[in-house]
Structure 1
Amino acid sequence: MKGRRETRTAVVVGAGLAGLTAATGLAARGIGVTVLEARDRVGGRTHGIEVAPGRWIDAGAAYLGDRHTELLALLGELGLKTTPTAMLGASRFALGAARGGEPTTRDGRFPPLNAVALGDLFELLDELTTTVRPEAPWLTPGAERLDTLTAAEWAEQHLTHPDARLFFPLFLGEMMAADPAAVSVLHLAFYLRSGGGLRYLNAFEGGAQQDRITGGAHLVCERLADRLGARVRLGEPVRAVHQDADGVTALTAHGSYRADVAVLALPPVLADAIEHRPGLPLRRAGERTARGCAVKASLVYPAPVWRDHGLSGWSVNARGPLLSTVDDTPPEGRPGVLTGFVTGAEAHRFAALDPAQQREAAARQAAQLFPMLPEPIGCHITDWVNEPYSQGCYAALLGPGDWLRHGPALTAPSGRVHWAGTETSTAYFGLMEGAIRSGHRVVAEILARG
């Protein structure tokens, strides 16, 4: 634009996938960048845990599929490989436990519930999903009604069979770490559509959970940060962002950082918690925007002994804390790692326990599901519910009214402030792919400023 000063510097707030994608993209085009990260590590909602020397698991985001093209391209650029998600063997289901039954073993992943009732549930969800406009959910036909109703209220109105009512919150917990009472029907339908559809999101082979990143997803951010070197500053939570006619200043406890533009690669609630001067024309989150409800409990054993018994390590359970489990054993085959997902309302209950109680509850339930298990040699609890610089995981949960009020301004810059993060991507919202795409979008926006 004539008369507008060329953008030469940018300050990026947040060193997760979105922030580091934006920062490296800008740096590669000659723009000076500084990345400010509140934590003492990069990675955001990707986080690796070393369970044995040189053997890592994902305590945060983990899975990808063949449609995640930007992530796959980035892995190739960084020299990283993928490992197929191990799903060989039978599954365990403790769905009858709510009615006093014992866990059962079943081939495949389809639960031992009424097939007609679950088929009807999936058809209803498919109908919702296909009506959504993923690029602009607020323009979906009937959006006002869908954005007013919670998923729990929708289930109360449409699900009559007890098996469908039992399975629905477990499904939402697995797919989007959500309590049905916390999300609008519009957000539920959008999330499924954005991620590639119900069947793609829920699938391992040929789906969104087909592969893991060899060595851990955290390696992506670590290698991006290595390219930036000292331009990434850890332990610098940003308290305020002030704009004026000439630039923007990010303020932390340790100093101030001046630039032409800022990129805020943060979840909506955290973006709102920063003092903005002048104030934002519209807040990034609403009163009913909730944090993603997920805790990961990773139990470590000398070996994946469930495999010797023809089991995949996959389970689905009506009672918590572990509402599902998956085989997270490193590709080397040792040690054995069984990761339990604590999601939805159960995540809040579990997160309130002290660490010893959490470990005991997780190990006890794992032993009930897989009686052949020895005592675990390690247990790693990753509480995303109370993580102060993520405010939940997999992503923020948009409640009633959020899409209609905040959706139209989702990506619009606020003066010199640009927005990134998986919650700003209408493609693959909540996934690593969405975070990377948001970083690319922000680079294009800033370059277009001139």
Structure 2
Amino acid sequence: MNHVRRSVRVAVLGGGLAGLAAATKLNASGLDVTVYEARNRVGGRVWSVDMAEGGAPPCVVERGAEFILTGYSTTQRLLDLTGLSLIDTGMSYYVRELADTSDITTNDVVSAGREAFNIARTFNSPPSAEDVLRRLNRNDQLVDALRARIEISAAVASSEVSAETLKHIASFEPLPSWRIEGGNQRLPNALADRLDEPIRYGDFVHAVRETSRGLVVESKTGNTRFDAVVVALPLALVRDPSSLDMPLPDWKISALEHVLQGDAAKLHLPLQSVPKTSAVMSVRDRFWTWTALDASGAATPMLTSFMGSRNAIDLAAGSENDFSAWSVKAKDIRPDLDFEDSSAIVTVWRDDPLSRGAYAAYAPGASHDYSEVLERPVGNIFFAGEYADPEFTGLMEGALRSGERAADRVIHSVVNHDTRTVGAPS
């Protein structure tokens, strides 16, 4: 059977978590899998960097996706497969102290968030988060604190994002948060190492063409024919024909337009001493900061800050695209920390040409039901990404689940010659 299946050739476009999850499952099923990755590394927006110098102990920071949360069952299964382990960060992604609202407590925001979630459920179709905030019978300062929490976490303005995001925002329980020991990028690295064929690094794909003999992938290194293609690229690239030219019908284009790719940035500031774990948020400037445990059992001597939404990042960057003011503000709200006199590390995902933004969220009027259409194949072109998962939209777990579903569709439709028609939604 494997000999027959090996004759089926599948291209996976993108070596992020979605693409690698698809490739891993296809490879295990005996298919001939080729992964195209335009970067010189796998992981995409999962990007771990060791900041230690010389013989210093490892100090790994996550310049991209960081927290692994409760319910990440696919992540755990793949960690078990690759022999990797999680470490508890010692803090909770869900609970953040407020730095610049002395009259409002975290419990006030918790209460307002739960009320907003209940209000959102009264609408016939998902409204914007701002529509819900306007119905809150709370004082303006508290409403803005909740608005800040939404915009930071969704990486989109509250007026532009669906209130569906409140399903996650309203969860303020102090649940644990984890990272992968040694850096989250160890997972994509390990998955890539398990593939039979090496990743085609630095090979940018610019078109997928339908022909009488199958699909042709046109890349920097030439044209190659495949029986199926899994598109596992960031949302901005999938819906931009100048980046990736492929046959997308109107129903697919419409579905893609109901998803937003957020704007997010991360800031890392080295510390002189080992801190306690913490999580503190600035309402005014739409960012939060944290210190967390590493594999040693002590907190990494690094303050990490995350800023979400285009307007916040535009204001922080200024006319010179200089984020030094963000460093100052982060230090101002963390007088408890002893900062090194060294340069900050800033990562702005919209400036990265291979991602053009951060993770996804739904626009008003859209809901998680759109995930089925987002993933629905067009002929033998299949789709996977964190933007398409119904439960873990925008998250690492969502990317992995979507990738595995795309692999299942390839196996059922192409390998098993499923003759059911693939087309527009009924």
Q: TM-score, normalised by structure 1?
A: 0.79
CA contact 1:286–1:402 (8 Å) conserved in 2: no
What's the offset of the Cα at 1:265?
A: 0.8
Q: 1:60 aligns with which of 43, 46, 64?
A: 64
2:79 maps to 1:80: no
Separation in structure 1 between the aligned mates of residue 105 and residue 288 of structure 2, nearest angstrom: 15
Q: Which of 161, 177, 181 in structure 1 is aligned with 2:155?
A: 177
3-state SS, counterpart of residue 296 of structure 1: strand
Q: Which residue of 1 aligns with 2:224?
A: 257
1:259-314 residue CA offsets vs partner (Å, 9 max, x unmatched) = 10000012333112244444434216655743212101011113234x3xxxx332
Determine if contact 1:363/1:376 at 8 Å carries over to the other structure: no
Question: Which amino acid in the other structure matches residue 267 of structure 2?
Answer: A
* Alignment match of 2:129 (pick from 139, 144, 151): 151
CA distance in 2, matches of 1:38, 1:379: 27
> For the residues of structure 2 that align with 1:69 and 1:327, how far apart are their CA atoms?
25
Is residue 35–residue 199 contact of structure 2 (8 Å, CA) maintained in 1? yes
Which one of 315, 319, 331 corresponds to residue 349 of structure 1? 315
SS in 1 for 2:383: strand
Between the aligned partners of 2:160 and 2:207, the Cα distance in structure 1 is 29
Deviation track 1:120-166 (CA, whole Å, cap 9, x = no partner) reads: 4412314536x8xxxxxxxxx812xx2xx422233223354223312
Within the candidate set 106, 115, 140, 1:123 is matched to 115
Matching of residue 198 in structure 1 with residue 170 in structure 2: yes
Aligned pairs, number: 399
The 1:41–1:212 alpha-carbon spacing in structure 2 relative to 1, beyond 3 Å, is same
1:92-147 per-position Cα deviation (integer Å, ceiling 9, x unaligned): 53223xxxx6xx9xxxxxx62683x7524412314536x8xxxxxxxxx812xx2x
Q: Is the 8 A contact 1:9 1:32 kept in 2?
A: yes
CA 360–49 in structure 1, closer or farther in 2 if over 3 Å, else same: farther
CA distance in structure 2 between the partners assigned to 1:266 and 1:180 by the alignment: 26
Map Cα deviations across residues 19-42 of structure 1 (whole Å, 9 max, x no partner): 001011111111111111122221
2-structure distance, mates of 1:188, 1:263: 27
Using the TM superposition, give the Cα deviation of residue 188 of structure 1 relative to its aligned residue in structure 2, in angstroms. 2.4
Q: State the shift of 1:416 in Å.
A: 0.8
Choose from 392, 400, 404 the match for 2:364: 400
Distance 1:351 1:376 in 2: 21
Q: Quote the Cα distance in structure 1 between the aligned partners of 2:74 and 2:150.
A: 26
Amino acid in the other structure paired with 2:384: A
Worse-matched range after superposition: 73-82 or 226-235: 226-235
- Aligned to 1:258, the other structure's residue is in SS state strand
Contact 1:272 1:284 in 2 (8 A): no
Residue 447 of structure 1, CA deviation: 1.0
Note if 1:410 corresponds to 2:374: yes
Tell me: CA distance 1:114–1:64, structure 2 relative to 1, closer, same or farther (3 Å). Answer: closer
Amino acid across the alignment from 1:348? D
Counterparts in 2 of 1:201-280, with a 5 A limit? 202-206=172-176, 210-228=177-195, 230-274=197-241, 275-280=244-249
Q: Counterpart of 1:390 in 2: which secondary structure?
A: coil
Q: Match of 2:99?
A: 94
- Given that 2:361 and 2:393 are in contact with CA atoms closer than 8 Å, whether structure 1 keeps it comes out as no
Aligned residue number for residue 40 of structure 2: 40
Name 1:134's counterpart in structure 2.
none
Q: CA deviation at 1:409?
A: 1.6
Structure with larger RCO (C-alpha < 8 A, sep 6+): 1
Structure 1 position 225, deviation (Å): 1.1
Q: Is the 8 A contact 2:160 2:363 kept in 1?
A: yes
The aligned amino acid for 2:91 is M
Q: 1:184 to 1:301 in 2, by over 3 A?
A: same
Q: Distance in 2 between matches of 1:354 and 1:278?
A: 39
* Partner SS state of residue 339, structure 2: coil
Secondary structure, counterpart of 1:73 in structure 2: helix
The structure 1 segments of at least 4 consecutive aligned residues displaced by more than 4 Å after TM superposition are 284-289, 351-355, 401-408
Show the counterpart of 1:331. Answer: 295
Q: For structure 1, which runs of at least 5 residues remain unmatched after alignment?
A: 105-110, 132-140
RMSD: 3.0
Shift of the 50–44 alpha-carbon distance from structure 1 to 2, 3 Å rule, reads: same
Which residue of 2 is the match for residue 385 of structure 1? 350
Counterpart-to-counterpart distance in 1, 2:174 and 2:204: 37
Q: Tell me, yes or no, if the aligned pair for 1:351 and 1:385 is still in contact at 8 Å.
A: no
* Contact 2:20/2:188 (8 A) holds in 1: yes
Q: Tell me, in whole angstroms, the C-alpha distance in 2 between the residues paired with 1:420 and 1:91.
A: 32
Query: In structure 2, the residue corresponding to 1:446 is in which secondary structure?
Result: helix
Instruction: State how far apart, in whole Å, the 2-side matches of 1:155 and 1:323 are.
Output: 19
Q: Write out per-residue CA displacement over residues 301-329 of structure 1, whole angstroms, 9 at most, x where no aligned residue.
A: 13234x3xxxx332111222x62111045
Comparing both structures, which one devotes a greater share of its residues to helix?
1
Distance 1:34 1:114 in 2: 50
Letter in 2 for 1:198: A
